[in-house]
Structure formats: structure tokens, C-alpha cells
Structure 1
């Protein structure tokens, strides 16, 4: 089920992740680190792919429609563990 989130919120989540989290997510999902970065708003498609992220103009940086939330779910899980 697609999920809609603001671009700024997606970037806030990425920027809140502890160092190395992008690599952990990429390893667990068997994908390139750049593909995970592209999911969070990066745009290097030479070394990564589009991860089903669609950005539409709007307030708060625009709206991001995520086709698959696996990466977002893992990032939020990491942030929850960081709180403990």
C-alpha cells in the first residue's frame, strides 16, 4: 500500500539516523547504498535505482508517495531503538 509523507519529514528521518544506518538498511535488503539514499531524496541513478519514490510539489518540501515502505519502516525501527 503506497504511503504519502512530506519530503521534509522523509529527510528529517534520514538525517536523524545514526551513522552507518543507510549501509545497514542496504545490506539487510540486499541493495546498493545509493539506492537507499535515492529513497530518501537522493538522485544518483548511475550507482542506484529509483526505489518507487514519487515527489510532487507542495508545502513542506512537497509530497512523497512511497510505493513500498520497507526502507522507511526499517529507518523508523532504527530510530525507535536509538531512543531506548
Structure 2
């Protein structure tokens, strides 16, 4: 499922994750940790892969089009658990 989100919103979700969440998601989705970081705007393609995000310039850091929202939805769940 495709979804548009601002880059700033995406980074805010990443920044609200509890310690160890990147590693946890990497294991759950059978990805490298760098690939999960790339999903949140990282750019390490030596140790990680591209993950279907497309960025367009614009306000709030630009618009990010996510081809698949599984990582985003899981990150939101983990961030909510931390906030409780």
C-alpha cells in the first residue's frame, strides 16, 4: 500500500523509537539495520538496500512516497508502546 508522508513526519517517527527498535524491525522484516535506516531517510547503500521510498522537494523536508508501509506501521506501534 502506497502512502505519502512528509520527510519531517517520517524522521519524527524514527526519532521517537525506543532504543533497539531499528535492530528489532530489521530482524522482523529480514533486512539489514542499514536498510531499515534507509527507509527513514538514510543513504547507506553499501551496507543497506533501497527500500522503495521516493522523495520530492517541498515544505517540511519534502514529500516521501512509500511503496510499502509495513516498516512505517511497525515503527508507529513501537513508538506508541514507548509513549505509554
TM-score (norm 1): 0.97
Q: Which residue of 1 aligns with 2:78?
A: 78
1:82 CA drift (Å) = 1.7
Q: Is 1:37–2:26 an aligned residue pair?
A: no
What's the C-alpha RMSD, in Å, of the aligned pairs?
Answer: 0.7
Tell me how far apart the structure 2 counterparts of residues 79 and 44 of structure 1 sit (CA, whole Å).
Answer: 23
Mean CA deviation greater in 74-83 or 45-54 = 74-83
Offset, 1:43: 0.2
Give ranges in structure 2 of 5+ residues lacking alignment. Answer: none
Instruction: Give ranges in structure 1 of 5+ residues lacking alignment.
Output: none
Residues paired across the two proteins, number: 84
Deviations 1:41-84 (A, max 9, x none): 00000010110000000000000000000100100010121233
Structure-2 separation of matches of 1:28 and 1:46: 21
TM superposition outliers: structure 1 runs of 4+ over 4 Å: none
Instruction: Name the SS of the counterpart of 2:12 in structure 1.
Output: helix
Distance 1:69 1:40 in 2: 12
User: What TM-score results when the alignment is normalised by the length of structure 2?
Assistant: 0.97
